[in-house]
Amino acid sequence: MVTESQLVELIKQAKENGKERKFKQSLEMIMVFKDVDVKKGFAINETIQLPQKMGDAAQVCIIASGDMGVKAKNANADRIINEDELTKLGANKRESRKVINKYDFFLADTKLMPTVGKVLGQLLGPRGKMPTPVPFNAPIESFLERFKSSVRIRVKNSLSLSCKIGEEDMDEQHIAANANTITNAVEKKLPNGDKNIKKIMIKTTMGKAVKLEQVKK
């Protein structure tokens, strides 16, 4: 099992190896798997809340009308789609794709879930972005806070994954805490846990990857 101190060292090396850029670079983690049969339907689609917030929070769209729509607006949701807009989106595939690609997570009023499935399900499903249902009178602020500090890990027909774990101006310990949370969550989804991890790599947006091979033999 990779330790948090090992991750800190990888992050430091990745920062040192990268050239200074005119923009703030992200830190990305790449995990490569082994001894996993992708032909037998191996897949991971997990939403993981990170312990340390990143500067660029996840973009969250809420599909709701009425009272929940008002609460979502007051909670500063990135976008709110009401029932009428949802129906219009269903008739405009091009606009639907633009919306789906723009937002990281979707939440939806439970009573609108059947409509969401009917008009957008064919586009949301394959992207792993089907909305999380939000029950009536649920604390929408808590839902928003949780998803804004989350990342989606998605693996299908592949022996690797890549995800953002922080930004270069963040403390290495904080970035490592995010990376550690993700590795722990992924290990639980692998057939043989950390034995299925071949190597972990960390890189800045434009930098070369620094790798830790054979996490566990």
**What CATH superfamily classification does 4-55+149-213 receive?**
Ribosomal protein L1/L10, rRNA-binding domain (3.30.190.20)
Query: What global pTM score does this model have?
Result: 0.85
Please count the helices (runs of H) and the strands (runs of E) in the chain: 7, 10
pLDDT score at 213: 66
How many Å apart are CA 101 and CA 9, to the nearest integer?
A: 34
The residues, ordered by sequence, that sit 6+ positions from 98 with a Cβ below 8 Å of its Cβ are none
Q: What is the mean pLDDT of residues 50-72?
A: 93
The residues, ordered by sequence, that sit 6+ positions from 158 with a Cβ below 8 Å of its Cβ are 38
Show the beta-strand stretches assigned E in the chain: 26-33, 43-49, 60-63, 79-81, 105-109, 132-134, 150-156, 160-167, 197-204, 210-213
Question: Which CATH number applies to 60-148?
Answer: 3.40.50.790
Q: What is the tens place of the pLDDT at every residue in 137-195?
A: 899 999 999 999 999 999 988 899 999 999 999 999 999 999 999 999 999 999 999 99
Break the chain into its structural domains and give their ranges: 4-55+149-213, 60-148
pLDDT over 90 at 18, yes or no: no
Specify whether the CB–CB gap between 143 and 132 falls below 8 A.
Answer: yes
Map tokens 């805490």 to a residue.
177
How many Å apart are CA 52 and CA 170, to the nearest integer?
A: 9
Half-sphere exposure of 19 (CA within 13 A, CB side): 3
